[in-house]
Amino acid sequence: MYAPMKVLHIVKTSVGATWVVHLVRVLRTLGIDVVVALPSATEGLAPRYRECGAEVVAADLDFPAQRPWQLPAVLARCRAVVARVKPDIIHTHHVGTTFVARLALGKESSTPRVFQVAGPLHLEHAVFARLELSLSGPADWWIATCRWTQDRYTQLGVARERVFQTYAGTDVSRFHPVRSGKLRKEIGLDVVTPLVGMVAYMYAPKLYLGQRCGLKGHEDFIAALGLLRRRRAEIHGVVVGGPWGDAAGYERTLRALGKKTCGDAIHFLGHRNDVPEIYPDLDLAVVPSHSENLGGAAEPLLSRVPVVATNVGGLPDIVRDGETGWLVPPRDPAKLAEAIEAAMTQPEEACRRAARGEALVRNILDAERTSREIASFCEAILRSKVAVA
């Protein structure tokens, strides 16, 4: 039984960040009072939060990077939400909303703030990492959702005890290893044609971060598939996931690159709502990200699909080279192609690694487990606040 507490979750999107839904669902079953601030109280995931028993507040509290003149209004909006809700803890899930909460309330705010770090990207750039820490104060705490992130905060001078490590939980029951044949039928492939896939949103390169390719490594996947087909022309590839935000032009660029490099052997399916159903149709999942938390590696392993991934961020937490999958350096299509071929030519070994990966991920990513760990962390924060007072 957890001590009574009210937690305000600030989420920058109404349509993404499904891990927050799973967290809120479990927190409510534990008797914790939850309020969720979203850009919309009616669209996207807002109804699901209400079904979980949370109160939903319409408030866009993301940092207005492209419209900085709106920042004073956003900060005032954040202060108004906090004043009305009167939370015991403020829990943010994105860099932008974390910046807003800290700027709005100041370093000396007495309300504990917990930043659940969804990904390591800002920590990989010294300017943004230092900026985030410069806004933190005595009431700020962190939840690292991979070991790399926890280690990085320690390297930056944050006390280890202020950075709790657990994973972003998911509903592991949604995924299963049973092939439906739906995907292969849709793209016109029989059951024996080798099929490798990449499932990820398409994020356009950010010039201010020095990116020339997309964050998820779509270009590397396409190049690796092209190299591989020179030796094994029967292999097909599939890309699942549409553009994120204003990346429609980037999606068109990727489709053209895929056509030029792989011809009709690569299939772009856009955004899908049936990913758990179609995953088992893949012989292999590829996660070629340049920066990542656990990324697209968890879902294929939950579906018992073998995985080749890049050795970045949190991916090695679950894709353990030689044990639960194959790891390769990022931005290296040749090494990626070699690992894909190794996995495809060792089907029994690939299945063994995928089975071990499934067991690992079902344990550490179960939302029931991760949410209880977060609840205990928040309870410990409140106890420490009382002890200090």
165 Cβ contact list (under 8 Å, min separation 6): 143, 144, 145, 146, 147, 149, 150
Q: Write down the pLDDT at residue 246.
A: 86
Structurally, at CATH architecture level, domain 175-364 sits in 3-Layer(aba) Sandwich (3.40)
Contact yes or no for 40/58 (Cβ under 8 A): yes
**Are 6-169+366-388 and 175-364 equal in CATH topology?**
yes
Q: Write down the pLDDT at residue 213.
A: 86
167 Cβ contact list (under 8 Å, min separation 6): 145, 146, 294, 317, 364, 365, 370
Instruction: Name beta bridge partners: 91.
Output: 9, 114
| High-pLDDT (> 90) share of the chain, % | 91
Q: Residue 230 has what DSSP assignment? A: T
Question: What are 31-70's pLDDT values in tens digits?
Answer: 999 999 999 999 999 999 999 999 999 999 999 988 999 9
User: Model's pTM, two decimal places?
Assistant: 0.93
Q: What is the mean pLDDT of residues 246-266?
A: 95
Q: Does domain 6-169+366-388 have CATH number 3.40.50.2000?
A: yes
Question: What are 300-354's pLDDT values in tens digits?
Answer: 999 999 999 999 999 999 999 999 999 999 999 999 999 999 999 999 999 999 9
Neighbours of 211 (CB within 10 A): 14
Chain-wide mean pLDDT for the chain? 95
Angle between helices 367-388 and 347-364 (to 10 degrees): 40
* Domain boundaries of the chain, sorted by first residue: 6-169+366-388, 175-364
